Chain A
């Protein structure tokens, strides 16, 4: 079923809030599936960034990968009931943008990795609470 069909069915049913709740529950399950994969990916990027052997290209790929994961997480987490995960993802995205912009007040890479680890902790917690 496409997103457009959902909208149509929900509107036609005249029972918008109830159908919305059902849809949100379905999306929450899919989100957890995504988080499960993302947790592993982001952990790998963090390992790469922390590695003394990583070169500039690796670092840039790692930063972009983390930023993408944080951005996608931020977009949905709070709406689906994972406020603290959403907040953690928001902090990562903000810090990462600052880091990429550079300047004297830009967050340093270790700080960035710490924030990313906190986000990963929140992901793990969400998965644990969901019984995964």
Chain B
């Protein structure tokens, strides 16, 4: 613990040094006046941890010095032990009003002084530990917020949901599918209805949780099929589903919404979040060439979901060959 002792009496400073040294406090700086103390504080390459201040000194007294120290941001909570031959209450009150944390009256027992400074040292250690914990918590919070921050259009990674992979991974996946594999593959996308509004009223963490929950619902709705899902940003989940039969998107969409409803989603303040998903028109990729064509099909499916307009005739989903070919 780095201590600065201030007293205009050289013998008192010597006595303080002897007492503190005996108590194991080796890192001591001394000043013979308040001005000298403030100069030392200003020039210190690392801050002092504790101050011992004589009250009665010429020019600026110890109480004024204490007040000046307290005005320095680095020393707002550093222990300041006043050392005074004056036991009158007014001095003590003034010292505490100026920010002192303890006082010792002269004459003092050298061993007792060591004990009092030891108490201050524990205070310093406690504050340091608290500051370290606080710094760690702040750092974690920042990291959490940084990691949790979601841009609406960002195709974020959703963890721990079966069959849900990153968009880049899904593109890589469809890229490697052979023409045969593509033949029995459908691609479509879900979109969260009114995602812009939900995003605007949700905290980043709430929005991320929401995206994860909806991904879970989509995956559940597709449980009867071999599938992969990726979040593509803007509330859109693109799904690659294998199977020779046509997808009943009405059932799938209904199931997804039922699962979402059963989740009874709320934000972190416990407020219910009304969420619905809508399935966009599917893209059958059976006849396209493998490779980039399959990746393009993903983009068409995403665009279909983004349109969010009225469905095909009779409210049914129509396959988007035309759009796909344009893409």
Contact = CB atoms under 8 A, between A and B. Distances in A.
A6 B106 CA distance: 20
A75 B21 contact: no
A48 to B, nearest CB: 22
Interface size class of A (residues with CB under 8 A): 20 to 34
A24 B110 contact: yes
Nearest to A22: B18
Interface string B93-125: 000000000000011111100000000000000
A71 interface: yes
A93 B18 contact: no
Interface string A49-87: 000000000000000000000011011111100000010
B103 to A, nearest CB: 14
Contacts of A10: 17-18, 20-22, 26
A10 B24 CA distance: 7
A61 to B, nearest CB: 15
B85 interface: yes
Contact of A77 (B16, B19, B107): B107
Nearest to A2: B30
B14 interface: yes
B18 A75 contact: no
B25 to A, nearest CB: 6
B85 A7 contact: no
A10 B5 CA distance: 16
Given A16-B24, A78-B107, A6 B85 contact: no
Contact of A3 (B16, B23, B24, B25): B16
A37 interface: no
B205 interface: no
Contact of B28 (A8, A17, A23): A8
A9 interface: yes
A99 interface: no
Contacts of A72: 9
A53 B20 CA distance: 48
Interface in A113-131: none
Contacts of A16: 21-24
B92 to A, nearest CB: 15
A20 B19 contact: yes
B15 A79 contact: yes
B21 A7 contact: yes
Interface string A1-15: 011111111111000
Nearest to A15: B22
B29 interface: yes
Contacts of A31: 11
A3 B17 contact: yes
B212 interface: no
A64 to B, nearest CB: 11
Contacts of A5: 17
B36 to A, nearest CB: 13
B17 to A, nearest CB: 3
A30 B18 contact: no
A79 B110 contact: yes
Interface in A15-47: 16-17, 19-20, 23-24, 27, 30-31, 34
A7 to B, nearest CB: 4
Interface of A: 2-12, 16-17, 19-20, 23-24, 27, 30-31, 34, 71-72, 74-79, 86, 90, 93, 97
4 tightest A-B CB contacts, nearest first: A10-B21, A11-B26, A16-B22, A78-B107
23 contacts: A3-B10, A4-B17, A5-B17, A6-B18, A6-B21, A7-B16, A7-B20, A7-B28, A8-B26, A8-B27, A10-B20, A10-B26, A12-B26, A19-B22, A23-B15, A23-B22, A24-B110, A71-B56, A74-B85, A75-B12, A75-B85, A77-B107, A79-B15
Given A8-B26, A23-B15, A78-B107, 11 more contacts: A3-B10, A6-B14, A6-B18, A7-B21, A11-B26, A23-B14, A24-B15, A71-B85, A75-B9, A79-B109, A93-B86
